[in-house]
Amino acid sequence: MKKKPVKIKLKDIGGILVDHFGKRKNINCYIGSNSATPTASIEALTEAVKEESPDLPFIKMFHILLHGNVPYVEEGMQDRVKAYSIFSGGAVRKAANEGRAYYLPCTLGTMDRLIGKDCAYEIDLVIMKVRKNELTGEYSLGLSVDAIHCALETAGVVIAELDPSMPFTQGQSVILGQDIDYIIEDGIQPVYTFDPPDFNRLPNAEKRIGELISEHFLKDGMTLQVGLGKIPDAVIGVIGAAGYKDLGVHTELYSDGLMYLQEKGIINNKRKKINTGYSTTSLIMGSKKLYDYVHMRSQVQMRPCIYTNNAQKVRECGSFLSVNTAIGVDLSGNVWADFIDPTTYYGGVGGQPDFVRALSHKKYGTPVIAMKSQARNFQSKIVPAHPSGITLTASAYDGVVIVTEYGIADLRDLPTGFKGLALASISHPDFREGLLRKIFNDPRMTKPKGFSLDKIPPGVTLYSGKTKL
């Protein structure tokens, strides 16, 4: 007879860890993430640690983005529990910047190299959320598959919150009851929801970026990967109004925007060459409407991020368009997204490098890095050199396309000086002349023969639409 999960209370978590790991000096715990963050269990585990039971081991917590309260990163907890964050926000970001948490750089597509079997951080304990199908007895990981399968492979103990607020998603999110040791039904907090974008009121700068990407890189039948934020929303909004058809989805994150296109029939995955007929994703995050939409919907299929972000799988989809954002780019074509400066960690590399490198050859598609030309402090996002000491999500040798509200800089195949001129040409007007002159006066930046500052350099397409700034 197949094993059923044992029902427990939140207050039992500490005791279960002592029973299973009391003789261990330390254990590695993987936490379910994003919209499916198991906040109640996180709080209960932290309380158990605060009680200072001498039998509890030191706990290393591995996770992607967590929403809600994360009390184990508070000051004074680090001698009993430590966060190893692969992508951070809120309290975890603050803790990492103050030295109370570790940032563990890793792309989503390669997380198995860290937490997989026989790897440096092989997982002992998994805490996550699930939704049960009462007809079949199966459980679903719902909104966040991410790297949970990799963690389940080695975990000695699996604790799941049974959450009826989470949709039952299809694909590789479905697991059996025998995969769960303990299940919690009482006192849990619902999944996290977020306001949907308003595609009828897109900011003009973001709308211009969407127009440029849609007009110059999107064709019927292409497969999409888009990130989350105002710029990806604008790209989707423009696509929705432009009459494209037969688009596909192969992404790490499925959002309200992709649902919007799928509801309109623009996304149907008919011409995608793998997983034909299905949108594939490892994470879902957005509104209550989105969660209702994906509930029991077979046309949206969940896969681990080592699948969705795998270069070969991306290439097998057919003609592909990837749209991600960044904090900045320098005149050599280096892109960064996880640090603002060497002392200010922001979030993580996520899956951006996975898709950039999967599309390194034009025959596979186009990796777009889309960003406004200015940061919130009105400084240029295009700068002479990247801040020393930070990590990069794309390097000068990666073939990327940079898009701002002023135009396109297709850096693929361009020499260094040409890259700089192209990027300066789509920078904010307040900084453009200074950047162009810096390149023009630098003998190391080899320029096109006969170039002058009044010419449009190779690789540049300036915005010529009707949307005003």
Active site residues: 252
Residue 451 neighbours by CB distance under 10 Å: 15
Alpha helices in 201-273 (DSSP H): 204-217, 230-242, 256-263
Cβ proximity of 385 and 330 under 8 Å: yes
Distance (Å, rounded) from C-alpha 94 to C-alpha 395?
Answer: 27
Closest CA to 375 of 343, 331, 329: 329
Written as six digits, the tokens of 1 are 């007879």
What is the token pair recorded at 139? 């459980």
Contact 331, 364 (CB under 8 A): no
Q: In degrees, to the nearest 5, what angle opens at C-alpha 89 toward C-alphas 87 and 90? A: 155
Q: 55 phi and psi, to 5 degrees?
A: -90, -10
> What one-character DSSP code corresponds to residue 58?
E
**Alpha carbons 96 and 391: distance in angstroms, whole number:** 15
Question: Measured between alpha carbons, how far is residue 265 from residues 79, 246, 260, 270 in Å?
Answer: 53, 8, 9, 11
Phi, psi of 97 (to 5 degrees): -70, -20
Nearby residues of 206 by Cβ (< 8 Å), 6 or more positions away:
230, 231, 233, 234, 372, 405
Exposed, middle or buried, 182 (CB in 10 Å: 0-12/13-18/19+)?
middle
Ramachandran category for residue 77: left, alpha or beta (phi over 0 → left; psi -120 to 50 → alpha): alpha
Task: From residue 308, give the alpha-carbon distance in Å to each of 167, 179, 223.
Answer: 20, 23, 12
With beta carbons less than 8 A apart as the criterion, state whether 123 and 156 touch.
Answer: no
**Interstrand relation of 401-404 and 365-370 (parallel, antiparallel or unpaired):** parallel
* Structure-token match 């299940």, residue found: 183
245: left (phi over 0), alpha (psi -120 to 50) or beta: beta
Burial of 243 (0-12, 13-18, 19+ CB in 10 A): exposed
